[in-house]
Amino acid sequence: MDISQVFENNKQWVAEKLKKDQDYFKNLAQGQNPDILYIGCSDSRATAEQLMGVDPGDVFVHRNIANAVPNTDLNALSVINYAVNQLSVEHIVVCGHYNCGGVKAAMQSHDQQTLNPWLCTIRDVARLHETELSEMDHEKARYDRLVELNVQEQCINLLKIACVQDTFLSNKLALHGWVFDIRSGKIIDLEIDFDEIWKDFRDIYALS
Protein backbone atom coordinates (compact mmCIF):
# COMPACT_ATOMS: atom_id res chain seq x y z
CA MET A 1 0.00 0.00 0.00
CA ASP A 2 1.19 3.50 -0.84
CA ILE A 3 0.99 5.23 2.55
CA SER A 4 -0.06 8.49 0.89
CA GLN A 5 -3.27 6.73 -0.13
CA VAL A 6 -4.25 6.65 3.53
CA PHE A 7 -4.50 10.45 3.57
CA GLU A 8 -6.58 10.43 0.41
CA ASN A 9 -8.87 7.83 1.96
CA ASN A 10 -9.13 10.00 5.06
CA LYS A 11 -10.17 13.02 3.01
CA GLN A 12 -12.87 11.01 1.30
CA TRP A 13 -14.10 9.62 4.61
CA VAL A 14 -14.30 13.12 6.12
CA ALA A 15 -16.17 14.41 3.09
CA GLU A 16 -18.66 11.55 3.24
CA LYS A 17 -19.34 12.10 6.94
CA LEU A 18 -19.79 15.86 6.54
CA LYS A 19 -22.07 15.36 3.57
CA LYS A 20 -24.43 13.39 5.80
CA ASP A 21 -23.96 15.53 8.92
CA GLN A 22 -22.13 18.87 9.02
CA ASP A 23 -21.78 18.56 12.81
CA TYR A 24 -20.48 14.98 12.81
CA PHE A 25 -16.94 15.73 13.99
CA LYS A 26 -18.07 18.58 16.22
CA ASN A 27 -20.34 16.14 18.04
CA LEU A 28 -17.67 13.42 18.04
CA ALA A 29 -15.24 15.78 19.76
CA GLN A 30 -17.60 16.32 22.69
CA GLY A 31 -16.59 13.00 24.27
CA GLN A 32 -17.35 9.32 24.23
CA ASN A 33 -20.09 7.27 25.84
CA PRO A 34 -19.73 3.72 24.50
CA ASP A 35 -21.83 0.89 25.91
CA ILE A 36 -19.37 -1.85 24.92
CA LEU A 37 -15.76 -2.67 25.67
CA TYR A 38 -14.51 -4.95 22.90
CA ILE A 39 -11.40 -7.04 23.55
CA GLY A 40 -10.24 -8.60 20.30
CA CYS A 41 -7.26 -9.84 18.36
CA SER A 42 -4.78 -7.52 16.64
CA ASP A 43 -5.19 -9.49 13.40
CA SER A 44 -5.58 -7.06 10.50
CA ARG A 45 -8.53 -9.06 9.14
CA ALA A 46 -10.68 -8.80 12.26
CA THR A 47 -11.34 -5.12 12.96
CA ALA A 48 -13.94 -4.51 15.66
CA GLU A 49 -15.88 -1.66 14.09
CA GLN A 50 -16.28 -3.31 10.70
CA LEU A 51 -17.38 -6.73 11.86
CA MET A 52 -19.77 -5.22 14.42
CA GLY A 53 -21.09 -2.62 11.99
CA VAL A 54 -20.57 0.29 14.40
CA ASP A 55 -19.29 3.86 14.08
CA PRO A 56 -16.55 5.77 15.94
CA GLY A 57 -17.74 6.44 19.49
CA ASP A 58 -19.93 3.34 19.70
CA VAL A 59 -17.40 0.89 21.13
CA PHE A 60 -14.27 1.11 23.30
CA VAL A 61 -11.63 -1.19 21.82
CA HIS A 62 -8.62 -3.08 23.13
CA ARG A 63 -6.75 -5.45 20.82
CA ASN A 64 -3.74 -7.67 21.29
CA ILE A 65 -2.36 -10.98 20.02
CA ALA A 66 -5.03 -13.68 20.46
CA ASN A 67 -7.41 -11.44 22.45
CA ALA A 68 -5.76 -12.30 25.75
CA VAL A 69 -6.65 -10.93 29.19
CA PRO A 70 -3.60 -11.80 31.32
CA ASN A 71 -4.12 -10.68 34.89
CA THR A 72 -0.56 -9.30 34.93
CA ASP A 73 -0.89 -7.15 31.80
CA LEU A 74 -1.12 -3.52 32.92
CA ASN A 75 -2.19 -2.42 29.45
CA ALA A 76 -5.27 -4.65 29.37
CA LEU A 77 -6.04 -4.03 33.05
CA SER A 78 -5.87 -0.25 32.57
CA VAL A 79 -8.22 -0.38 29.59
CA ILE A 80 -10.69 -2.58 31.46
CA ASN A 81 -10.56 -0.42 34.58
CA TYR A 82 -11.14 2.76 32.59
CA ALA A 83 -13.99 1.21 30.61
CA VAL A 84 -15.76 -0.06 33.72
CA ASN A 85 -15.07 2.71 36.24
CA GLN A 86 -14.94 5.80 34.02
CA LEU A 87 -17.01 4.97 30.95
CA SER A 88 -19.47 2.70 32.79
CA VAL A 89 -19.77 0.30 29.89
CA GLU A 90 -22.65 -2.14 30.15
CA HIS A 91 -21.04 -4.94 28.16
CA ILE A 92 -17.58 -6.45 27.80
CA VAL A 93 -17.00 -8.66 24.77
CA VAL A 94 -14.04 -10.96 24.32
CA CYS A 95 -13.95 -11.85 20.63
CA GLY A 96 -11.56 -14.37 19.13
CA HIS A 97 -11.48 -15.49 15.53
CA TYR A 98 -10.86 -18.68 13.63
CA ASN A 99 -7.51 -18.89 11.78
CA CYS A 100 -5.90 -16.89 14.58
CA GLY A 101 -2.14 -16.72 14.10
CA GLY A 102 -1.49 -16.29 17.82
CA VAL A 103 -3.44 -19.41 18.73
CA LYS A 104 -1.73 -21.35 15.94
CA ALA A 105 1.69 -20.23 17.16
CA ALA A 106 0.81 -21.38 20.67
CA MET A 107 -0.03 -24.83 19.32
CA GLN A 108 3.42 -25.24 17.80
CA SER A 109 6.53 -26.47 19.62
CA HIS A 110 8.78 -23.67 18.46
CA ASP A 111 10.75 -21.00 20.26
CA GLN A 112 8.82 -17.80 19.53
CA GLN A 113 11.43 -15.66 21.33
CA THR A 114 9.84 -12.54 22.85
CA LEU A 115 6.38 -13.94 22.13
CA ASN A 116 6.93 -16.92 24.42
CA PRO A 117 5.61 -15.33 27.66
CA TRP A 118 2.52 -14.03 25.87
CA LEU A 119 1.82 -17.33 24.13
CA CYS A 120 2.03 -19.13 27.47
CA THR A 121 -1.36 -17.59 28.23
CA ILE A 122 -2.85 -19.59 25.33
CA ARG A 123 -0.70 -22.64 26.02
CA ASP A 124 -2.10 -22.66 29.55
CA VAL A 125 -5.57 -22.87 28.00
CA ALA A 126 -4.45 -25.86 25.92
CA ARG A 127 -3.06 -27.51 29.06
CA LEU A 128 -6.30 -26.97 31.00
CA HIS A 129 -8.30 -28.56 28.19
CA GLU A 130 -5.72 -31.11 27.05
CA THR A 131 -8.07 -34.09 27.39
CA GLU A 132 -10.76 -32.59 25.16
CA LEU A 133 -8.29 -31.35 22.56
CA SER A 134 -6.34 -34.62 22.41
CA GLU A 135 -9.51 -36.54 21.60
CA MET A 136 -9.95 -34.59 18.35
CA ASP A 137 -8.57 -36.39 15.31
CA HIS A 138 -8.09 -33.40 13.04
CA GLU A 139 -5.66 -30.55 13.70
CA LYS A 140 -8.08 -28.01 12.19
CA ALA A 141 -10.79 -29.07 14.65
CA ARG A 142 -8.35 -28.72 17.56
CA TYR A 143 -7.29 -25.33 16.24
CA ASP A 144 -10.87 -24.05 16.03
CA ARG A 145 -11.75 -25.47 19.42
CA LEU A 146 -8.71 -23.88 21.07
CA VAL A 147 -9.82 -20.52 19.64
CA GLU A 148 -13.17 -21.01 21.38
CA LEU A 149 -11.64 -22.27 24.63
CA ASN A 150 -9.24 -19.36 24.66
CA VAL A 151 -12.16 -16.93 24.48
CA GLN A 152 -13.83 -18.75 27.36
CA GLU A 153 -10.73 -18.68 29.55
CA GLN A 154 -10.07 -15.00 28.82
CA CYS A 155 -13.65 -14.27 29.87
CA ILE A 156 -12.93 -16.15 33.11
CA ASN A 157 -9.85 -13.97 33.56
CA LEU A 158 -12.13 -10.94 33.31
CA LEU A 159 -14.11 -12.20 36.30
CA LYS A 160 -10.91 -12.28 38.37
CA ILE A 161 -10.56 -8.49 38.04
CA ALA A 162 -12.01 -6.56 41.00
CA CYS A 163 -13.90 -3.86 39.08
CA VAL A 164 -15.38 -6.40 36.66
CA GLN A 165 -16.33 -8.74 39.48
CA ASP A 166 -18.06 -5.99 41.44
CA THR A 167 -20.11 -4.62 38.53
CA PHE A 168 -20.96 -8.09 37.22
CA LEU A 169 -22.24 -9.23 40.61
CA SER A 170 -24.21 -5.98 40.91
CA ASN A 171 -25.94 -6.80 37.60
CA LYS A 172 -24.53 -3.65 36.04
CA LEU A 173 -22.29 -5.44 33.55
CA ALA A 174 -22.82 -8.27 31.08
CA LEU A 175 -19.96 -10.38 29.75
CA HIS A 176 -19.89 -12.04 26.35
CA GLY A 177 -17.63 -14.52 24.59
CA TRP A 178 -17.73 -14.43 20.78
CA VAL A 179 -15.83 -15.88 17.87
CA PHE A 180 -15.59 -14.16 14.50
CA ASP A 181 -15.77 -16.80 11.76
CA ILE A 182 -13.38 -15.24 9.30
CA ARG A 183 -14.45 -17.81 6.70
CA SER A 184 -18.05 -16.61 6.63
CA GLY A 185 -17.89 -13.14 8.17
CA LYS A 186 -20.35 -14.11 10.91
CA ILE A 187 -20.04 -13.51 14.65
CA ILE A 188 -20.76 -16.59 16.77
CA ASP A 189 -21.97 -16.15 20.35
CA LEU A 190 -20.44 -18.94 22.46
CA GLU A 191 -23.28 -18.46 24.96
CA ILE A 192 -21.01 -18.81 27.96
CA ASP A 193 -22.90 -19.20 31.25
CA PHE A 194 -21.03 -16.74 33.45
CA ASP A 195 -23.33 -17.27 36.42
CA GLU A 196 -22.45 -20.96 36.42
CA ILE A 197 -18.75 -20.21 36.01
CA TRP A 198 -18.88 -17.83 38.96
CA LYS A 199 -20.51 -20.50 41.14
CA ASP A 200 -17.69 -22.88 40.26
CA PHE A 201 -14.81 -20.61 41.24
CA ARG A 202 -16.13 -17.91 43.57
CA ASP A 203 -14.67 -19.60 46.66
CA ILE A 204 -11.22 -19.16 45.13
CA TYR A 205 -11.44 -15.86 43.25
CA ALA A 206 -14.03 -13.81 45.15
CA LEU A 207 -12.48 -10.51 46.24
CA SER A 208 -15.17 -9.38 48.66
The residue type of 197 is I
State yes or no: is 110 an active-site residue.
no
> Is there a catalytic annotation at residue 45?
yes
Pick the catalytic residue: 2, 35, 62, 97? 97
Contact predicate 87/36, CB 8 Å: no
Q: Distance of alpha carbon 110 from its chain centroid, rounded?
A: 25
Active site residue: 43, 62, 142, 155, which one? 43
Question: Which position among 21, 35, 45, 189 bears the catalytic label?
Answer: 45
**CB atoms inside a 10 Å sphere around CB 104:** 15
Choose, from 2, 23, 35, 41, the residue flagged as catalytic: 41
DSSP symbols for 17-34: HHHH-TTHHHHHTT----
For residues 107 and 146, the answer to whether their CB atoms sit within 8 Å is: yes
Other beta carbons within 10 Å of 99:
17
Check 100, 142, 144, 176 and give the catalytic one.
Answer: 100
> Is the alpha carbon torsion for 80, 165, 88, 122 positive or negative?
positive
Decide if 62 is catalytic. Answer: no
d(CA 32, CA 181): 29
Q: Clarify whether 41 is annotated catalytic.
A: yes
Active-site residue list: 41, 43, 45, 97, 100
